C-alpha cells in the first residue's frame, strides 16, 4: 500500500472514532433509549417516598437524571436529579446501593485537563532539554589539530608550551609555588585563527576541549544563561585536564549595566555567574579558560582583572612569512598563472586576515571557472580583492 493511501485510511479511522466518541458522550442516553427502550419515568416525590419506605434497591446517578430499580421488580425507573449535595447521603442512609456515572461533558472536561497537563509538562521538559540539556556543551576528547596546522603565531605557541606542561602536571608546579593561569584572553580581529589556535592548544596538550560561544548562553527564558554557565564549568571540572574555549566572549562578558531592563539583568547574572565560577577554581584542578574577543575594552573590569584572566594575548594579522604559508596552503589544489608569484600575492594580502585570504583565493577560482579557465590569473585575484573590500 502506498503511504498516501495509508494516510487516508488513518485519517478516516481517526475521524470515525472521534465522531463515535462524541455521539456516545453526548447522545448515549438517547441512543440507549432508542435501541433498548426507555425507562419508566416517575415524579421525584414518588421516588423519594419509595426510598423512605425501603422499596428502592439501587440508584444510578447520571447527570441530570436518576435511574433506579425497585425491590422485587425487573423494570428500570427514572426520575429527575435534584442535584442536592445531600442526595447520596440520603440514599446510603436508607440502604440503597448508589452508582455515580459521569456525564459526557464531565468526561470531556477530564480528557481536556489531562491533555493540558501533558502539553504543559511536556513543554517544560522540552525547554529544559533544549536549553539546559547535559549535552549542551560537548566534550571533545581529541580535536585533531596541532600547532603544525596553525600558520604563524610562533611567539604565541612558545608562550603556551609551559602552560600546557602546568596543565598536565598542576600538582608538581603547585609545590614550587607556581599556579596555572585561570584564564587567557585572545584578542584579535575576526578570521585570524583564534578558534583554530584554541583547538591546536588542546590537541598539542592532549587534554579535553569544550567549545562554547556567546549565543549558547542566550535564552528566551530568564536565569537560563547563568545555569548554562554553571553547567559548562561543572563539565570542565569533571573532564580535567581540560580547556574551555568561549568564542565571542564580548557577547556575554560586557560591562554590567544596572538599568533594570530584562536584557541587562540577564547579562549581569551571566557575568556574575562567570565571576563565581572563575573564583571557585582551585590551582590544581587543571582547567584553563580561553576566551576570544574582538575588544577587551568592552569586557567587564571584574572579569579581566588579574586572578581571573591572568594573560592577554594579541592575535595579529599574519605577517609576510605567515601569508606565504597560507597562500601555499590555500592554492594547493589551484593552478595559478606565472604572474601570480608568491611574493606578489603576499604583498597584496598585507593586512588581510587568514579567513579573508582564503575567501579571496576561493572567489578568484570561481571567477576563472566562470570563464572556463583552469588557471587563476592575477586579474581574477584583483577582482576578488575589490569585491572583498567593497570597491566597485
Number of residues assigned to the chain: 392
Q: What is the pLDDT of residue 37?
A: 45
Q: Which string of DSSP letters, residue by residue, matches 252-277?
A: TSBPP--S--HHHHHHHHHHHHHHHH
Distances (CA, A) of 330 to 188, 245, 291, 359, 385: 22, 26, 27, 9, 15
As to burial, measured by CB atoms within 10 angstroms (0-12 exposed, 13-18 middle, 19+ buried), residue 8 is exposed
- Identify the DSSP state of 182: S
Query: Which residue's entry shows cell 597560507?
Result: 326
Q: What is the pLDDT of residue 391?
A: 47
Residues 6+ apart with CB under 8 A from 183: 278, 288, 289, 290, 291, 308, 309, 310, 311
Query: Which residue's entry shows cell 541587562?
Result: 264
Q: What is the pLDDT of residue 35?
A: 41
Q: What is the pLDDT of residue 58?
A: 92
C-alpha cell at 263: 536584557
Q: How many CB atoms lie within 10 A of CB 382?
A: 13
Q: State pLDDT tens for residues 180-205.
A: 777 888 888 888 888 888 888 888 88
Residues 6+ apart with CB under 8 A from 274: 229, 252, 253, 303
- Identify the DSSP state of 30: H
Q: Give every residue of the chain whose pLDDT is below 70, as ranges.
A: 1-4, 6-7, 10, 16-39, 102-108, 127-135, 219-222, 257-264, 280-285, 390-392
* pTM (2 d.p.): 0.60
Per the CB < 8 A criterion, the answer to whether 363 and 387 are in contact is yes
- Identify the DSSP state of 239: T
Q: Which helix (H) or strand (E) holds 70?
A: strand 65-70
Amino acid at each position: 500500500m502506498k503511504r498516501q493511501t495509508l494516510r487516508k485510511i488513518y485519517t478516516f479511522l481517526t475521524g470515525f472514532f472521534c465522531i463515535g466518541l462524541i455521539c456516545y458522550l453526548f447522545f448515549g442516553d438517547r441512543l440507549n433509549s432508542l435501541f433498548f427502550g426507555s425507562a419508566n419515568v416517575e415524579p421525584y416525590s414518588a421516588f423519594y417516598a419509595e426510598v423512605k419506605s425501603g422499596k428502592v434497591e439501587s440508584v444510578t446517578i447520571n447527570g441530570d437524571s436518576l435511574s433506579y430499580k425497585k425491590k422485587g421488580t425487573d423494570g428500570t425507573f427514572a426520575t429527575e436529579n435534584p442535584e442536592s449535595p445531600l442526595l447520596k447521603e440520603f440514599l446510603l442512609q436508607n440502604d440503597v446501593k448508589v452508582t455515580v456515572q459521569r456525564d459526557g461533558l464531565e468526561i470531556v472536561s477530564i480528557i481536556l485537563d489531562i491533555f493540558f497537563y501533558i502539553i504543559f509538562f511536556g513543554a517544560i521538559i522540552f525547554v529544559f532539554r533544549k536549553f539546559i540539556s547535559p549535552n549542551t556543551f560537548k566534550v571533545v576528547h581529541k580535536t585533531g589539530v596541532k600547532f603544525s596546522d596553525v600558520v604563524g603565531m610562533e611567539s604565541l605557541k612558545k608562550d603556551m608550551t609551559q602552560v600546557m606542561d602546568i596543565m598536565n602536571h598542576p600538582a608538581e608546579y603547585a609545590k614550587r609555588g607556581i599556579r596555572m593561569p585561570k584564564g587567557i584572553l585572545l584578542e584579535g580581529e575576526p578570521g585570524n585563527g583564534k578558534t583554530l589556535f584554541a583547538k591546536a592548544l588542546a590537541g598539542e596538550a592532549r587534554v579535553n576541549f569544550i567549545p562554547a560561544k556567546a549565543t549558547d548562553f542566550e535564552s528566551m527564558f530568564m536565569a537560563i544563561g547563568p545555569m548554562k554557565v554553571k553547567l559548562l564549568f561543572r563539565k570542565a571540572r569533571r573532564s580535567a585536564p581540560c580547556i574551555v574555549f568561549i568564542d565571542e566572549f564580548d557577547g556575554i562578558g560586557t560591562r554590567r549595566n544596572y538599568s533594570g531592563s530584562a536584557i541587562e539583568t540577564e547579562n549581569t547574572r551571566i557575568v556574575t555567574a562567570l565571576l563565581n565560577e572563575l573564583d571557585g577554581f582551585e590551582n590544581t584542578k587543571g582547567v584553563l579558560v580561553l576566551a576570544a574577543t574582538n575588544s577587551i575594552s568592552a569586557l567587564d573590569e571584574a572579569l579581566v582583572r588579574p586572578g581571573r584572566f591572568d594573560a592577554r594575548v594579541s592575535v595579529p594579522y599574519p605577517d609576510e612569512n605567515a601569508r606565504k604559508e597560507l597562500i601555499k596552503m590555500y592554492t594547493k589544489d589551484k593552478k595559478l598563472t606565472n604572474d601570480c608569484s608568491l611574493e606578489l600575492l603576499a604583498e597584496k594580502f598585507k593586512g588581510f586576515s587568514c579567513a579573508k585570504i582564503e575567501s579571496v583565493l576561493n572567489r578568484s577560482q570561481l571567477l576563472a571557472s566562470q570563464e572556463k579557465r583552469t588557471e587563476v590569473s592575477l586579474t581574477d585575484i584583483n577582482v576578488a580583492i575589490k569585491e572583498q573590500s567593497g570597491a566597485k
